[in-house]
Amino acid sequence: MDAQTATLDIVRIDNRHLVLISENRISFIPNVSDEEIEQACVEERRVIVAHANASTTHTQLGPSIAFMPTFDCNLRCIYCYAKGGEDQTSLPLATAKHTIDWTASKTDDPHAKPLTVYFVGGGEPFMNFRMMDGICRYSRERFASVEVVVVSNGIHGQKQRQWLIENKASTRISFDGIMHAKNRPLATHAPSDAIVEQTIKELAVAGVPLTVQLTITRDGTAHMFESIERISSLGARYIKIEPVHHSVLSRGEQSLVPDLEEFVEMFLSSLKRITEQGLLIKIDNSFISRPTSGYYCGAGEGSNVTVTPTGLITSCLEVASMSDAYADTMIYGRCTESGQVVIDDDKRRFLDRLHWRNYPNCPGCNLKLICGGGCPMQGGWDNNDLLNPSAYTCRAHQMLLPKIFAQVFDDPRTVDVVFDNHTIERQC
């Protein structure tokens, strides 16, 4: 890498402070005059190049597979992106094994590498618990080790919780805090919050790598900080806060999506109160992702291998059936009855195009390394065009990020709440 090829985005805050964004790095520089900006950028590029040239670490990552164990669900969340529970189809273990075998056949020396196994929704993964356990056992026969990641609604018994603990599974539990009883009832219409709270408490005490997903509806926006406090009181230390995501496949109406101005205001207010009260909380959010010149997610580069309950291979878990919108694009493979995995290479090549460099307005945007062009599917749902980002998410980035940067200058403790897994240089 040289200084000319290093991407460096410049954000000016209140005509005083400077934020420089590059690959895996953000620098906060206070009180920079207009005349000093160019020199600050020259120095930052020098640092970027020096770090890149000095890096000798090349981590060899193993492959990964995501499984949707079932479409069935024990909740009836009012905004579910997949209408979980309306279809009870579950993934056979034999199909999952074929996919693991296929992955091993494409991996150099699989017995020397780890396999990351994701269990994700379409329904609630633990509704097909036996298959989850079978996948992990079989994966350990084919690979050196298995790292387990589970995205779940938290409706667990003691057996499932113990399984997560024993497998040291990185776990994301959905819990909507103050609004949970309304947003996420059981299939019987009874409230589910007490069960989920118990799950979070037990996993937190056991030291399971735990993130709590807090989904914000329009009605829940005003209760954002109260919900954060409630989650914090359960022992969770990582909270992923997202506004409701709506599509033609969602349960519920567009009216559930929060007003963006109100969401941004409450998010910023919550950050301020977290630092003022010293809550031991990290906030994750798709709007403040690690800066990268890569893809927004694996759907974009066609690297996601997500196996649906019917044996289809999709690049996005939102598109899981051939009857779904964008199935002809996102579903790019299948596992046949004979155990063969068939991939459509033309579809994979199209998915490679879902990068901000190929979007109309992204290359000239100074937030592109953090935004990454946003979720490709959200662009599809909002614009009927996968190569045109969602106006909602674009506007969210433009409204939220500069204000978060300004908050960092006002209170540097903000960095410790919202930024993680990349280098932060702060002189404020």
What one-character-per-residue DSSP string does 394-411 give? HHHHHHHHHHHHHHHHH-
Torsion over CA: 37, 43, 49, 51 (sign): negative
- Distance in angstroms (rounded) separating the CA atoms of residues 426 and 428: 5
pLDDT value, residue 337: 83
Superfamily of domain 64-257: Aldolase class I (3.20.20.70)
Task: Return the domain boundaries, the chain.
Answer: 64-257, 298-389
428 residues of the chain, pLDDT tens digit each: 565 678 899 999 999 999 999 999 999 999 999 999 999 999 999 999 988 777 655 556 789 999 999 999 999 999 999 999 999 999 999 999 999 999 999 999 999 999 999 999 989 999 999 999 999 999 999 999 999 999 999 999 999 999 999 999 999 999 999 999 999 999 999 999 999 999 999 999 999 999 999 999 999 999 999 999 999 999 999 999 999 989 999 999 999 999 999 999 999 999 999 999 999 999 988 888 889 999 999 887 778 899 999 999 999 999 999 999 999 999 999 999 889 999 999 999 999 999 999 999 999 999 999 999 999 999 999 999 999 999 999 999 999 999 999 999 999 999 999 977 556 665 54
Cβ pair 292, 23 in contact under 8 A: yes
The DSSP code sequence of 28-80 is EE-S--HHHHHHHHHHHHHHHHHHHHH---------EEEE--BS--SB--TT-
Chain position carrying tokens 């909602």: 392
Determine the pLDDT at residue 428: 42
Q: What is the pLDDT of residue 420?
A: 72
Burial-class residue 48 by CB neighbours within 10 Å (0-12, 13-18, 19+).
buried
Question: What CA–CA distance (Å, rounded) separates 18 from 40?
Answer: 9
- Please state the length of the chain: 428
Q: What is the pLDDT of residue 53?
A: 79
- Provide the pLDDT for residue 51: 82
Quick check: 291 and 21 in contact, CB under 8 A?
yes
Record the pTM: 0.94
Rounded to 10 deg, the angle between the 158-166 and 129-142 helix axes is 20
Measured distance CA(133)–CA(144) in Å, rounded:
17
Q: Residue 134: which residues within 8 A CB-CB, separation 6 or more?
A: 93, 96
User: Which residue stretches of 106-157 are H helix?
Assistant: 129-142
Q: What does residue 392 show for φ and ψ, rounded to 5 degrees?
A: -65, -50
Break the chain down into helix, strand, coil percent, rounded to 5.
40, 20, 40
Residue position matching structure tokens 């994979």: 348
- pLDDT at residue 14 in the model: 93
> What is the b/e burial string over 220-248, where b = at least 16 CB atoms within 10 angstroms of the residue's CB?
bbebbbebbbbbbebbbebbbbebbbbbe
